[in-house]
């Protein structure tokens, strides 16, 4: 094991002090002066309708209202992976709450009053609310023009249907595998939509100045991707990428909701219609629920062939995604799952069909876990059911089938080094899997549930990161990167990586959230790839700086470069014990030679990273032939659940989660991800329950009716376990863990319920009410059966 | 417009407000204090928590006109002479992630520790149950507060 100074240490967050003193500024905290204008949007009151006309005249007469903008002003599409969205609805609206127009005014009050006074005349069309209805022959088409939509080459839309993408995997011989299986099990599961619920709502301020320069301040996970999409969407005005500047202050939680582009494009676009003033748009909590992204819902149908000894021989997995009105981002969730719905198992015969289906509900998109929580609910439930039917222990059946390094993935490439089996062993031990437990309370029972999980970053094959590194006079460093610290501790970890290589304490390294004018390119802060990808860019920049320093010293001091090394802000020499040069004495000013001249100059370095082995070029009918994913992060989790059989109320007595993050760069931050992520996952099972009416209107877009956990709702105990099987191409062997902790929550709770009560619940959420009804029903059937 | 007098983070202040002005908006927009945040505008999330006459309250639910003659403390005021032991402890525990809930959470816990310097874990949970945090799972915050009581 290498001896590291800063890597692997629980370094304090470099932005921690800002956050505990109230100094941290988020988008809505920035000061824009008395010239600031406000915008309010007009929302669709139908889930599906043609817009007959929009009457803006009354709004325009309201004092302090300056301009009204509608779809007519921006008649073109945008989107990340598929251009299927408009800045404002054009001839039709496709979900309840969709933006139809915006009012720009001097005060928020005037903007709101203006929005209220815009009359939109609609002609309703049949709304398609359920995804299985949407794929019926006679279903109303949401996007009749789908065949003309621009999209990435790895999507396969079905013309004249509501299917925006169909990802297929065909591996092995399914017929043979099923005929040779000793048992075949078939089940169906359902996972509804969820909301991210970052506590900071979306916020954007945009200014199109009189010289034609567009600046957007936004709460964002994707400043460069936003710049790219804004520049593309506004290119008809002659705007180039470097005319657009995105500045991203602190972000009050993202979880995927602030990735890509949603409401920010409204700010960017309307600013061009009223030049010279900053214009602010803040989403209220309601809109945060129904007009950013939601997590897509899914109905999954599974068929599994199994040998008597528990070996899985075949897996057929069909996934019908309720992706909503626009799928420019969600179609890639569907794609990612299509590639990985085999789960973390070795299965030789696999058939996956993942369908991205348009519905007249809010657009869906990336949400921590990127579809893996959704499909693993079914898969990890089914494996447990299979174990019970075959009388094999649920942990044992997982050990038998769990994937290992080198095993073939569903798309034909091979599994990366990983510690899945270690994770299983450690979790089983910590939760005392073999020990049956009963509650001392009458009416209460205890069950245990187990689940594996895995996830790969889902990205374009050439998603890249870049870093600038510059020294200051005192040998402190500023690092410029364009990932976002959305709370995960990314900035701190980047400082640790550079600090390790340059032997400088991370507390002397400043890394801040970006400004696209100053900071180099980054694709997005999503996919749990930022530690791995941007970490490699920072590592490369630091190595480059180190090389410049040592090369300069070697040249000026006539020493062989391979005898020089960095230690505690000094250059030292392996062959000369007394030799040491303080970085601060020459890092900017250079080294003085005997003749009085200086050599060197300010040390500045750069580094980039892009995976060079990935490809989405595959056979569209089988999914074989490409290498779409860079690697998978794996893990195992288990919990001990206490159930009140009279009320259905559940309490988690203990939860254990082991994750293989490769080399863990900062254990305190990694554990923070596990504890926070696990609760977010638990919340989707026990508390969050999104409701729509039959017209597609969300009924509970607020924290009173859509519950997320408080401090009183947390498990009694969470034990995070870090397993470290190095990722060969990761910085110091690291791979990402940000999304993964929440993924196993739902199946392990469903599995614990079955363990305790023999009741299998196949749809989420599993609220106390739902469980209580299931208990009542099962006791009725039990009585009837007697 | 009505004139109100109040003490904000130890300083005497006087401003004019409309009867319908919300305290959170007045603090953020007129007084330039940005630590109280808006997360819901509905009394559900606690991000807008301030201390009013010694008690933690949600400033999104209060009209500015109601605070005439009262005393307000925000995290800016709390941090004036350096961090409090509570803030230090939260910092060293890496308790917060995105930090958006932090100002409200810190003020709720500050109030608790003032009246009850040795709270039990249950009392800590009760105290911060009105402050939603989506990132941390609360445990690292509870640990930082518990550590102070040892
Ligand atoms: S903003 Fe006041 S409680 Fe949420
Ligand atoms: S740290 Fe993000 S909401 Fe609490």
What's phi and psi for B24, nearest 5 deg? -55, -45
**CB-CB neighbors (< 8 A) of A251 in chain B:** 98
The reply to whether A371-459+631-785 shares the fold of A16-23+463-609 is yes
What average pLDDT does the segment A466-483 reach? 98
- Mutate which of B38, B46, B98, B137 for ligand 2? The one with the most ligand atoms within 8 Å of its CB, which is B98
Residue A381 · residue A751 · CB < 8 Å? yes
Q: Distance (Å, rounded) from C-alpha A358 to C-alpha A375?
A: 19
| Ligand 2 pocket member B106 (CB < 6 A) | no
Question: Is A739 an annotated catalytic residue?
Answer: yes
Q: Count of alpha carbons within 13 Å of A533, Cβ hemisphere only? A: 29
Q: Distance (Å, rounded) from C-alpha A294 to C-alpha A95?
A: 13
What's phi and psi for A305, nearest 5 deg? -100, 135
Determine which of B78, B97, B120 to mutate to test the interface with A (most A C-beta atoms within 10 Å): B97
Nearest CA to ligand 2 atom 4: B133
What average pLDDT does the segment A54-75 reach? 97
Do B70 and B6 lie in one domain? The reply is: yes
B129 and A710 within 8 Å at the Cβ level: the answer is yes
Is the pLDDT at A323 greater than 70? The verdict is yes
B79 and A22 within 8 Å at the Cβ level: the answer is yes
Residue-wise pLDDT for A498-529, tens only, equals: 999 999 999 999 999 999 999 999 999 999 99
Q: Distance (Å, rounded) from C-alpha A373 to C-alpha A368?
A: 9
Is the pLDDT at A781 greater than 70? The verdict is no
Interface of A with B in 397-426 (CB under 8 A): none
Among A20, A25, A709, whose Cβ lies nearest the Cβ of B96?
Answer: A20
Among A17, A31, A702, whose Cβ lies nearest the Cβ of B44?
Answer: A702
Give the pLDDT score at A584: 98
Ligand 1 atom nearest to A703, measured from its CA: 4
Long-range own/partner contacts, residues A569-573 (CB < 8 A, 24 or more apart): A569/A475, A569/A503, A569/A504
Closest CA to B133 of A708, A525, A255, A688: A708
Instruction: Please tell me if residue A34 touches chain B, with a CB cutoff of 8 Å.
Output: no
Nearest CA to ligand 2 atom 2: B98
| Total tally of structural domains belonging to chain B | 2
Q: How many CB pairs under 8 A join A and B?
A: 165
Q: Which domain holds residue B92?
A: 85-148
- Mutate which of B40, B44, B94, B136 for ligand 2? The one with the most ligand atoms within 8 Å of its CB, which is B136
Q: What is the DSSP string of B92-115?
A: HTT--SS-TTHHHHHHHHHHHHHH
Instruction: Please tell me if residue A576 touches chain B, with a CB cutoff of 8 Å.
Output: no
Is the pLDDT at A580 greater than 90? The verdict is yes
Compute the mean pLDDT over every residue in chain A, rounded to the nearest whole number.
Answer: 97
Give the pLDDT score at A246: 98
Do B90 and B117 lie in one domain? The reply is: yes
Query: What's A16-23+463-609's CATH class?
Result: alpha beta
Give the pLDDT score at A785: 46
* The two structure tokens encoding residue A319: 């996934």
Residue A635 · residue A742 · CB < 8 Å? no
| Ligand 2 pocket member B24 (CB < 6 A) | no
Do B123 and B62 lie in one domain? The reply is: no
Instruction: Please tell me if residue A710 touches chain B, with a CB cutoff of 8 Å.
Output: yes
Closest CA to A747 of A688, A658, A690, A685: A685
Q: In this prediction, does ipTM exceed 0.90?
A: yes
Instruction: Please tell me if residue A752 touches chain B, with a CB cutoff of 8 Å.
Output: no
Q: Distance (Å, rounded) from C-alpha A83 to C-alpha B55?
A: 51
**CB-CB neighbors (< 8 A) of B21 in chain A:** none
- Measured between CA atoms, the residue of chain A closest to residue B97 is A487
| Ligand 2 pocket member B96 (CB < 6 A) | yes
Instruction: Please tell me if residue A610 touches chain B, with a CB cutoff of 8 Å.
Output: no
Q: What is the pTM of this model?
A: 0.97
- Expressed in angstroms and rounded, the spacing between residue A697 Cα and the centre of ligand 1 is 24
Is the pLDDT at A682 greater than 60? The verdict is yes
Residue-wise pLDDT for A227-285, tens only, equals: 999 999 999 999 999 999 999 999 999 999 999 999 999 999 999 999 999 999 999 99
Ligand 1 atom nearest to B59, measured from its CA: 2
| Ligand 2 pocket member B10 (CB < 6 A) | no
Interface of A with B in 647-686 (CB under 8 A): 668-669, 672, 675-680
Q: Closest approach of chain A CAs to the CA of B58, in angstroms?
A: 15
Nearest CA to ligand 1 atom 3: B43
Other Cβ atoms closer than 10 A to A55: 12
Nearest CA to ligand 2 atom 3: B133
- Domain CATH code at residue B47: 3.10.20.30
Among B74, B75, B137, whose Cβ lies nearest the Cβ of A676?
Answer: B137
Other Cβ atoms closer than 10 A to B29: 15
* The two structure tokens encoding residue B33: 């204090």
Cis peptide before A362 (omega within 30 of 0): no
Q: The domain A32-125+202-282: what is its CATH number?
A: 3.90.1170.50
Give the pLDDT score at A786: 41
Q: What percent of chain A has pLDDT over 90?
A: 98
Cα angle: A238, vertex A242, A247; to 5 degrees: 120
Residue-wise pLDDT for B83-121, tens only, equals: 999 999 999 999 999 999 999 999 999 999 999 999 999
Q: The domain A371-459+631-785: what is its CATH number?
A: 3.30.365.10
Q: Which of B32, B49, B76 is the last residue of a domain?
A: B76
Q: Distance (Å, rounded) from C-alpha A185 to C-alpha A390?
A: 11
The residues spanned by each domain of chain A are 16-23+463-609, 32-125+202-282, 371-459+631-785
Say which of A437, A739, A754, A769 is annotated catalytic.
A739
| Ligand 2 pocket member B97 (CB < 6 A) | yes
| Ligand 1 pocket member B130 (CB < 6 A) | no
Give the pLDDT score at B150: 83
B83 and A678 within 8 Å at the Cβ level: the answer is no
Q: Distance (Å, rounded) from C-alpha B33 to C-alpha B99?
A: 16
Q: Distance (Å, rounded) from C-alpha A371 to C-alpha A332?
A: 9
- Mutate which of B26, B50, B57, B60 for ligand 1? The one with the most ligand atoms within 8 Å of its CB, which is B60
| Ligand 1 pocket member B60 (CB < 6 A) | yes
Residue-wise pLDDT for A705-761, tens only, equals: 999 999 999 999 999 999 999 999 999 999 999 999 999 999 999 999 999 999 999
Listed as ranges, residues in chain B with pLDDT below 50 are: none
Residue B65 · residue B83 · CB < 8 Å? no
Among A18, A251, A668, whose Cβ lies nearest the Cβ of B94?
Answer: A668
* The two structure tokens encoding residue A156: 């396969």
What average pLDDT does the segment A637-651 reach? 98
Instruction: Please tell me if residue A703 touches chain B, with a CB cutoff of 8 Å.
Output: yes
Give the pLDDT score at B110: 98
Instruction: Please tell me if residue A253 touches chain B, with a CB cutoff of 8 Å.
Output: yes
Q: Please tell me the number of the ligand nearest to residue A19's CA.
A: 2
Is the pLDDT at A334 greater than 50? The verdict is yes
Q: Which of B22, B41, B76 is the last residue of a domain?
A: B76
Give the pLDDT score at A782: 57
Do B111 and B141 lie in one domain? The reply is: yes
- Domain CATH code at residue B122: 1.10.150.120
């Amino acid at each position: 094991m290498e001896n590291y100074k800063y890597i692997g240490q629980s370094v304090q967050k470099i932005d921690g002090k800002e956050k505990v003193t109230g100094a941290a500024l988020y988008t809505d905290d920035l000061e824009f002066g008395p010239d600031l204008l406000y915008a309010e949007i007009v929302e669709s009151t139908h889930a599906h309708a043609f817009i007959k006309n929009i009457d803006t005249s009354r709004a325009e007469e309201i004092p302090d209202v300056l301009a009204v903008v509608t779809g007519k002003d921006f008649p073109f599409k945008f989107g990340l992976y598929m251009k299927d969205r408009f800045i404002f609805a054009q001839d039709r609206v496709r979900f309840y709450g969709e933006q139809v127009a915006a009012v720009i005014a001097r005060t928020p009050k005037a903007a709101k009053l203006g929005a209220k006074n815009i009359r939109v005349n609609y002609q309703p069309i049949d709304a398609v609310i359920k995804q299985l209805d949407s794929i019926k022959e006679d279903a109303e088409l949401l996007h009749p023009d789908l065949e003309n939509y621009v999209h990435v080459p790895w999507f396969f839309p079905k013309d004249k249907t509501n299917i925006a993408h169909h990802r297929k995997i065909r591996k092995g011989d399914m017929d043979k595998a099923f005929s040779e299986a000793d048992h075949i099990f078939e089940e169906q599961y359902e996972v509804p939509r969820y909301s991210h619920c970052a506590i900071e709502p979306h916020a954007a301020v945009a200014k199109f100045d009189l010289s034609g320069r567009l600046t957007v301040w936004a709460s964002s996970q994707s400043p460069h991707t936003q710049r790219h999409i804004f520049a593309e969407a506004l290119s008809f005005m002659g705007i180039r990428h470097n005319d657009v500047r995105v500045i991203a202050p602190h972000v009050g939680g993202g979880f995927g909701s602030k990735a890509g582009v949603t409401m920010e494009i409204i700010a960017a676009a309307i600013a061009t219609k009223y030049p010279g003033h900053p214009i602010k748009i803040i989403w209220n909590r309601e809109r945060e629920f129904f007009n950013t992204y939601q997590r897509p819902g899914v109905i999954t149908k599974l068929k599994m062939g199994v040998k008597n000894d528990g070996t899985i021989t075949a897996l057929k997995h069909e996934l019908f995604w309720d992706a909503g009105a626009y799928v420019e981002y969600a179609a890639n969730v569907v794609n990612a799952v299509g590639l990985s719905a085999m789960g973390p198992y070795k299965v030789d015969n696999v058939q996956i069909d993942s369908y991205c289906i348009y519905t007249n509900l809010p657009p869906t998109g990336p949400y921590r876990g990127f579809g893996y929580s959704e499909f693993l609910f079914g898969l990890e439930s089914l494996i447990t059911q299979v174990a019970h039917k075959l009388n094999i222990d649920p942990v044992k059946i997982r050990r038998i089938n769990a994937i290992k390094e080198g095993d073939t993935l569903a798309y034909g490439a091979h599994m990366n080094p990983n510690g899945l089996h270690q994770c299983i062993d450690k979790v089983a031990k910590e939760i005392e899997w073999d020990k049956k437990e009963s509650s001392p309370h009458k009416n209460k029972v205890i069950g245990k549930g187990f689940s594996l999980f895995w996830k790969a970053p889902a990205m374009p094959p050439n998603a890249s990161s870049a870093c600038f590194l510059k020294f200051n006079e005192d040998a402190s460093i500023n690092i410029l990167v364009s990932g976002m610290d959305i709370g995960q501790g990314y900035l701190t970890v980047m400082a640790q990586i550079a600090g390790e290589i340059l032997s400088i304490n991370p507390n002397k390294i400043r890394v801040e959230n970006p400004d696209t004018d100053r900071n180099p390119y980054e694709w997005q802060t999503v996919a749990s790839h930022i530690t791995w990808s941007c970490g490699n860019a920072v590592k490369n920049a630091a190595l480059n700086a180190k090389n410049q320093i040592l090369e300069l010293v070697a040249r000026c001091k006539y020493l062989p470069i391979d005898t020089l090394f960095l230690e505690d802000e000094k250059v030292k020499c392996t062959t000369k014990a007394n030799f040491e040069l303080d970085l601060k004495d020459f890092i900017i000013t250079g080294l003085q030679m005997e003749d009085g001249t200086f050599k060197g100059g300010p040390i500045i370095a750069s580094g980039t990273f892009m995976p060079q082995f990935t490809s989405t070029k595959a056979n569209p009918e089988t999914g074989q032939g490409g290498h779409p994913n860079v690697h998978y992060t794996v893990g195992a989790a288990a919990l001990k659940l206490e159930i009140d059989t009279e009320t259905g109320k559940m309490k988690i007595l203990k939860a254990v989660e082991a994750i293989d993050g490769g080399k863990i760069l900062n254990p305190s931050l990694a554990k923070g991800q596990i504890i926070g992520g696990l609760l977010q996952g638990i919340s989707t099972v026990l508390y969050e329950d999104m409701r729509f009416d039959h017209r597609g209107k969300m009924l509970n877009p607020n924290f009173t009716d859509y519950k997320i956990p408080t401090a009183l709702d947390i498990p009694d105990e969470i034990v995070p376990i870090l397993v470290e099987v190095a990722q060969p191409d990761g910085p110091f062997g690291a791979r990402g863990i940000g999304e993964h902790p929440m993924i196993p929550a739902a199946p392990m709770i469903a599995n614990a319920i079955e363990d305790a009560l023999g009741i299998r619940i196949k749809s989420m959420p599993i609220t106390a009410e739902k469980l209580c009804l299931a208990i009542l029903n099962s006791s009725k059937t039990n009585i009837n059966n007697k | 417009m009505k004139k109100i007098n109040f003490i904000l983070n130890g300083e005497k202040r006087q401003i004019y407000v409309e009867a319908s002005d919300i305290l959170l908006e007045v603090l953020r927009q007129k007084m330039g204090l940005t630590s109280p945040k808006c997360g819901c505008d509905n009394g559900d999330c606690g991000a807008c928590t301030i201390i009013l006459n010694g008690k933690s309250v949600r400033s999104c639910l209060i009209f500015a006109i109601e605070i005439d003659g009262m005393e307000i403390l925000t995290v800016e005021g709390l941090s004036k002479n350096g961090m409090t032991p509570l803030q230090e402890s939260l910092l060293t525990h890496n308790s917060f992630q995105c930090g958006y809930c932090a100002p409200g959470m810190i003020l709720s816990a500050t109030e608790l520790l003032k009246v009850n310097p040795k709270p039990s874990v249950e009392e800590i949970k009760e105290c911060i149950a009105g402050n939603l945090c989506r990132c941390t799972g609360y445990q690292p915050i509870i640990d930082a507060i518990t550590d102070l009581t040892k």
